[in-house]
Chains A and B, each alone.
Chain A
Amino acid sequence: MVLHIAKRELYDHLNSLRFAFTVVLFLALMIANAIGHFGEYNIRLTEYRKKVATSLDTMKGHTDSLFSLMLNGPGQLYKKPSALTFCADGGERFLPEYVEARNYGWMRSWQAPGEKPVTIQNIWHLTYPQSNPNLWDITPDYTNISWVAIISLVLPFIAILFTFDAIAGEREQGTLRLTLSNSVPRDLVLVGKFLGAFLSIGIPFVIAVLINLFLLYTAGGVPLGANEWGRLGLILLVALIYLSIFIALGLLVSSRAKRSSVSLTILLLIWVVWVVLTPSTLGSLVSGLQPTKTIEELDSYRWQQRKNLNAQYPLGKGDGPTRAIPATEMTLLWAEYVKKEAQLKEQLHQEHLTDQISQINRARTITRISPASIVQYTIESLAGTGFSHHLSFLEAVHRYAPEFRQFLLDTDGADPKSPHAPYVPEGASESPVRFSEIPKFEDSNRVSTDLNAALMDILLLVLFFVVSFALAYLSFLRVDVL
């Protein structure tokens, strides 16, 4: 019986103007998306490899002595592009694509009367690019035609067009009364209508998606392995759950509204407010509540912290470090200072980064009251792009930095000719380092972490669906047919 109703609904839809529009729209958007991303992945990957190679070359140039490596650090650490950028662009053009792990050379030198000149140099630490890399882009602001845009904005709009008159329209024409007089249970009518709408939107959508993937795979240079197919399958699943939410919502409103025009008005306003405007308005509103430190505050805070540190050390006077073995007290003292100074600066940069990230995370948490945001975040996580990938990239950097430091210490410890007071040139090993032994940074896109990030959001979407479907169900059971 359910299948019968669903079939009838489906055939009804297939003949309609909106179905033709839906097919054309999905195809146009998905093909545009594919064409827009032709070759993009390869270009980005080549660029990424080139940058990594340059960075490694620079590092190789610092292997003549361990101290030189200690001074200059591993260089720039780059974020790897994802093959699935066409699914979710994730605002990547606004995100920095690297973290600096190198030296911002300053040095202090002084000379006590009758003594050798003393020079203290700082060593590498992590810093994060502060400005948006997109400052010169003069093209107008636009929503990237990625899967995210198609799914989060267009799919619910189509769902509304298919369901607003599903019940209200039949009531207006009197056919609802006719159907129900035929001893068809109401819940089956609802489920049938749901399935009919779901199939008549879902099928063209999936076909458009397959065409999109076919184009990208054959002509677009996007490699699709088991990993990517798994991710794509999950993205499709998320899209269909999201679609179901709006079909259920459409049925709910349609069963409550007296006339189909009223139903459409309400649904469109819900769509505009909940899907189009809420994510941005609420995001900006929440992020504005607790702004991060301004440049001035930050500068004076950092300056104060550095001053506190410097107060503990006899800067600008006294002896310098020497190459004596075992290391003299002065050598150890200066080595400690240089290390602490780098640590402090890195810590200050990280504090600011944490502030910035939590500002965004607060906004992201609140915007989850709109399923459009949830779907965006989920697809971004699954595609390995956007903010969530940026966070996992930063995590990888924060795992790598201590590993690199430990390598420096271990290598220094293994050199019998070193005074073992690293971080000052006099106290560290001077023997060359074998390039192959140095741990190298590589950003990875791990399915498990990405899935973990997406799981809660998927559950939240399911919850939205269950609630809206239950409401539609209850409402339809109690609806007056006349």
Chain B
Amino acid sequence: MKTVYVCSDSVTGIFSAVYDAWKAQKAEEKCGIVLQGFMEQQLFCDYVEVEETEAKTVAVERMIRKHMGLLAYHDIYQAALSADVEKGDAILGTMLAAKGLKDSTKIMEHLSHPKVEKVFELSRRVGNESHFFVEFIRFRELESGILYAPISPKCHVLTCIAPHFADRFPLENWMIHDKTHRSFAVHETRKKWVLVQEAYGEAKRQEYEEKFKKMSEKETEYEALFKSFCKTIAIKERENPVCQRGHLPLWYRPDMVEFS
């Protein structure tokens, strides 16, 4: 009988599920992980709800770092942030495959293994998306002087992009708002950044929207300057919207000043 561990869509959830599956010491085809809400019941499967704890997460993280190395941890962590339903299975499969290798740190090079390949692909997707957001995030200055940036990513990219901005603007108060997953990365001057996850409802969402509309006086001026800069810098004789879309897909644009 196959045991399937059911967990929530978060790093804590997936790592806790990996912890339980690992403890049970089953072969790869005898265990799996599914995300809550994306379950497709199958025959001959035992569904087990995972108890999600910080301790389990830390233990799994430590194990991956120690035996599979930092680079593999980086890939697995990023894969856990992706928007793919089968990510839990892929991560568990990769870890079990690593167990079979003489040198487990080489696991991410084993691309002919389907689960490893999946993790590699998911990690690359999350990595690319977070890189795009590092590029395309636009801050606006609110009345209070806080820099605020709304984004609507597909994957949970906040934890990948916040460190970059924390290093870049150590003296600023800034905040990145992930509208898809309803969470914030908040940074206060000279302090460490924090992740705030708040499952707010519709009323609260509207309240936030109102609140973040109030911008500082200078803001419109600089927005206008940048808009005209973007327009002027293009060379008319070389116009090529297809090339532009290839580099900057349309779905990133609603939150960017130069396209609004």
Do A and B make up one complex? no
